[in-house]
Structure 1
Amino acid sequence: MHHALRAPRRRTAVQIMSGSEKATVAVRSLARQIAANENDVPTSQATGEPYRNVYNALSQTHLPTLAAAGIIIYDPKRQKVSAGANLDAASIIIEMTTPTVQLLFDEKEHATEDTIIGD
């Protein structure tokens, strides 16, 4: 399961699915929410190339990986996603590890800034 949760887009997809009141979510809706999050824009403005990139990556890579881990159920023909048996566990793992992951990225960013400033 940890491998399935390594990619930021997969983690975001799990968070969206965990917070969704709908039993089934369309891939296009999931892609639009992720594209909006990544580009810091409202969902209504998550269009064009950024949206297409997320949609394609979800359909071809991320959703099949999450489905293989039992986190979601992915229907590629209907382009629909629903909760899998391991969705709640994955959501808990993300909640527990996100602060640590963010701390590591923050430290790496500061180390890079220090190197650039020191040169």
Structure 2
Amino acid sequence: MNQLTTRKSDITEGEIHELLRNSRRRRVLKQLQERVGVVTVRALAETIAELETGESPPPRRIRDSVYNSLHQTHLPKLDAYGVVDYDKNRKTVALRREVRQVDLYMEVVTKYGITWAEYYQRLLLLALLVILAAQFDVVAVAALPTAVWASVFLVVLALSSAAQLWSRRWFYLQQLVGDHR
């Protein structure tokens, strides 16, 4: 961090929304959450350019553009708010514990590319349709009683909630391990 810059200790909700308004900053945070420890700006720029273009490797001019915007704008801003540790001299970046303040506002996406909210909406819609079909003796689902279908979906909902909770705890566990290195 630049010696002249002072970090904020608490980030207001408006400031969090300002930080997350930019898609490149959201990608930076997401990529850093998926990795443990310190990441070079070059590697981060490469990954983000790849995500933005869909090409592997991404075109050099795009990589350079992403690198410059990260180095000059996005990483210093995230560092100033105390969300990341950005070393301009070494060109490295790592998440800080304070990212938890921002993390609460980021939409959590499953590994399948949908948000947890979308997943739960689809699961509950499917449950409703199957339970109604069982109630009205639709042939494909009438073999099992409505109560069994409801129980099956409650178990799936409970397991899904546990998986979501575990994935978040795993992230925080990685952060704690990284903080003690």
Check whether TM > 0.5.
yes
Of the two, which has the highest radius of gyration? Answer: 2
Task: Tell me the SS of whatever aligns to 1:28.
Answer: helix
Match status 1:20 vs 2:35: yes
Task: Tell me the SS of whatever aligns to 2:17.
Answer: coil
Match status 1:92 vs 2:104: yes
Please give the alpha-carbon distance, in whole angstroms, between the structure 1 residues aligned to 2:53 and 2:103: 23
Letter in 1 for 2:67: Y
CA root-mean-square deviation: 2.0
Task: Name the counterpart of 1:10.
Answer: 25
Q: Which has the higher contact order (CA 8 A, sep 6+)?
A: 1
Q: 1:53 aligns with which of 39, 51, 65?
A: 65
Unaligned runs of 5+ in 2: 1-15, 109-114, 116-181
User: How many residue pairs align between the two structures?
Assistant: 96
Unaligned runs of 5+ in 1: 100-119
| TM-score normalised by structure 2 residue count | 0.49
Please give the alpha-carbon distance, in whole angstroms, between the structure 2 residues aligned to 1:27 and 1:64: 12
Q: Decide which structure has greater helix share.
A: 1
- Contact 1:31/1:55, CA 8 A, preserved across alignment: yes
Please give the alpha-carbon distance, in whole angstroms, between the structure 2 residues aligned to 1:20 and 1:92: 18
Task: Tell me the SS of whatever aligns to 2:25.
Answer: helix
